[in-house]
Amino acid sequence: MIWQAVLDTVAVIRERRRPVITVFWRQLYFSGFEALWATLIVAVLLGTVIVSQVARIAGSESEYLTGKMMVWVVVRELAPLITAIIVIGRSVTAIATELAQMKVSGETEYLEGLGIPLGHYLIVPRSAALCCSMMLLTAYSAAGTLLGGGLIASFGWGMPLAHYSQGILAILTFDEIATALTKAGLFGLVTANIACQHGLIVEQRVTQIPQAATRAVMQSLMAIFLIDGFWALLFGKG
């Protein structure tokens, strides 16, 4: 389904189908823009916890190390992972429920009867929107965590912001950012297709709608942790 979604995305872009683009923007608004506040709150709290723990372990004079630790822990791992969990809780549940409802009510059969490919209209915009949302929210989350952590380090532990920033800039490279965003995009692509799959395979029973949402969430969580583990094995040596 993921490979077919990629191929269908190329076809949709080439043909410039407006209904698909409309669904994409609507899904991007729900998955990305409406999740900004939740992502920011979690990011600031996460930065507070990490800085406090590092300061307790290494001491208040470890501002340079604290900046490095924030990049290693947040940008590489926690920002994509926490963002994925937030998006799964909001969007994967909504997508699986919406598509399951369409399947039970017969809307998918109606679309097929009109000659509209379900992959183009239902899967492509949601996959693309979750992929973009995950990448944008990951960048937003990482920035919020680094900024929030810096403020806590400065006002709570008396660390000079200049030294904290030097620790971040010493290790934060374009490759680090690109790797984190690529992983986040992969999270979005996989979880969106899991949600679409479980939403579209339900039978004609209303009781299967919440079951489809539950299975989509559980398998999405399992998928992102598996991807994160394999990603660490492949790219963690650097």
Tens-level pLDDT at each residue, the chain (238 residues): 777 777 777 777 777 777 888 888 999 999 888 889 888 888 888 888 887 777 777 665 566 677 777 888 888 888 999 999 999 998 999 999 999 998 898 888 888 787 777 888 888 889 999 999 999 999 999 888 888 877 777 776 677 777 777 778 878 888 888 988 999 999 999 999 999 999 988 887 888 889 999 999 999 999 999 999 888 888 765 4
The alpha carbon dihedral of 118, 119, 123, 129 has a sign of negative
pTM to 2 decimals?
0.86
How far apart, in whole angstroms, are the C-alpha atoms of residue 65 and residue 59?
10
Largest CA distance in the chain: 68
How far apart, in whole angstroms, are the C-alpha atoms of residue 40 and residue 184?
17
How far apart, in whole angstroms, are the C-alpha atoms of residue 166 and residue 82?
25
pLDDT at 223: 95
Q: Containing domain of residue 117, as a range?
A: 2-235
Q: How many domains does the chain have?
A: 1
How far apart, in whole angstroms, are the C-alpha atoms of residue 36 and residue 186?
20
> How far, rounded to the nearest angstrom, does the alpha carbon of residue 155 sit from its chain's CA centroid?
31
